[in-house]
Amino acid sequence: MRIQSSLIYILLMTILISIIPANKAMAAPGVSANAAVLIEQESGRVIFGKHEHEKRRIASITKIMTAILAVESGKMDETVTVSKNAEGTEGSSLYLIAGEKIKLRDLVYGLMLRSGNDSAVAIAEHVGGSVEGFSYLMNQKAEEIGMKNTNFRNPHGLDTHEDHYSSAYDMAILTRYAMLNKEYEEIAGTKVHRAPHPEGKWDRVWKNKNKLVTGLYKYSTGGKTGYTKRAKRTLVSTASKDGMNLIAVTLNAPGDWNDHIAMFDYTFKNYELVKVLDKGVISKIKDPFYKNKVYYNHDFSYPVLKGEESKFKVKINLLTAKESWKSPEDIPVPVGKAFIYLGDSVIGEQSIFFETENMPPPKESFLDIFKNLFFTFMGLASHG
């Protein structure tokens, strides 16, 4: 009888558990990766993390940095002469021939779609003067955009240096930065690219190795694959649905395709993108000097769990107007900031500009936009 009662109790508890709504955070995906992160692209909010700040080998996702530096160099239409050093690079290859001439743009497509290590060296030598010089540029850019657990020693990610590493989170930051560039975004999401063959008899045809892009996941917008014997499988991917753009990174992940799909599907199902601040005039300002004359120059949106939007608060700090501000040129730029809170945590800030007929709000550069939006969520837990 005791055994029968125990079985009945277990059955009843199972039924009860099955009908109780699950906590959304508990429904977060498990992943096979040793390290992983998923962030929302515009805000940088960490939706899911697993050892995301640990320094690890990253293999060919290194090439995201190589690609964005090439795109930003302004040399994409230049012709590159392939060196013997580039031709002889081990591992995955475009089978470049020493002495052949090829557009830098085609090298970047080959780098991202086919993961050509020879292409990486050819790009590094053309843009940076040498592999060592290009590695310096890579680390300079990494520091500039806030990659704190990263050191680059080569442009391809081969295990040729013990001190070549990054973290899942840093690679998400890098991808977030790179995706602001429309040319990079287009290259990373291309399924097939054709490039002239040096012998002129046919075109080289490069199909993207990223299965998510080529049909495995319908919301995929780009990314980069990677593998070495020591790093194992690494993957960066991006996806977009209903205006929400996501970035996922996995390091040493046996089931990386499934990991990324699970993280994307979880986020698209449970989170929504809420516009907190609208570009344009700030209507709530009562100060006579500032009323109807101060503006945000871009929107601020943030992903939240459904029902979490009620926790948003905005605190506006404006400089005290001075009598010495007699002309538009005397007024500081910016004149203040808005601090955006989710609960008690600051999740973002927005500059406030004073506009007159003679002084429109300043235009922000590519890097300025990134820096204004960028916040390092070091203290936030996953789903935070």
Catalytic sites, residue numbers: 60, 63, 115
Distance CA 75, CA 69 (A): 10
Q: Which residue has the tokens 């990766």?
A: 33
Whose tokens are 């006579």? That residue is: 288
Residues 94 and 112 sit within 8 Å (Cβ to Cβ): no
Q: How far is CA 354 from the centre of its chain?
A: 31
Determine the angle formed by the axes of helices 168-178 and 63-72, rounding to 10 degrees.
Answer: 30
Instruction: Render 172-236 in DSSP notation, one character per residue.
Output: HHHHHHHTTSHHHHHHHT-SEEEEE-TTSSSEEEEE-S-TIIIII-TTEEEEEEEEETTTEEEEE
> Pairing between strand 345-354 and 300-305?
unpaired
Mention every residue, 6+ apart, whose C-beta is less than 8 A from residue 201.
Answer: none
Cα–Cα distance, 239 to 245 (Å, whole number): 6
| 203-207 vs 192-196, strand pairing mode | antiparallel
Least Cα distance to 282 among 327, 245, 317, 332 occurs for 317
Ordered DSSP codes for 158-175:
-TT-TT-BB-HHHHHHHH
Which one, of 350, 351, 356, lies nearest residue 331 by Cα? 356
As a whole number of angstroms, the distance between CA 293 and CA 276 comes to: 20
Closest C-alpha to 355, from 370, 372, 334: 334
- What burial class does residue 123 get, using C-beta atoms within 10 Å of its C-beta: 0-12 exposed, 13-18 middle, 19+ buried? buried
176-193 burial, b at 16+ Cβ within 10 Å, e below that, comes to bbbbbbebbbebbbbeeb
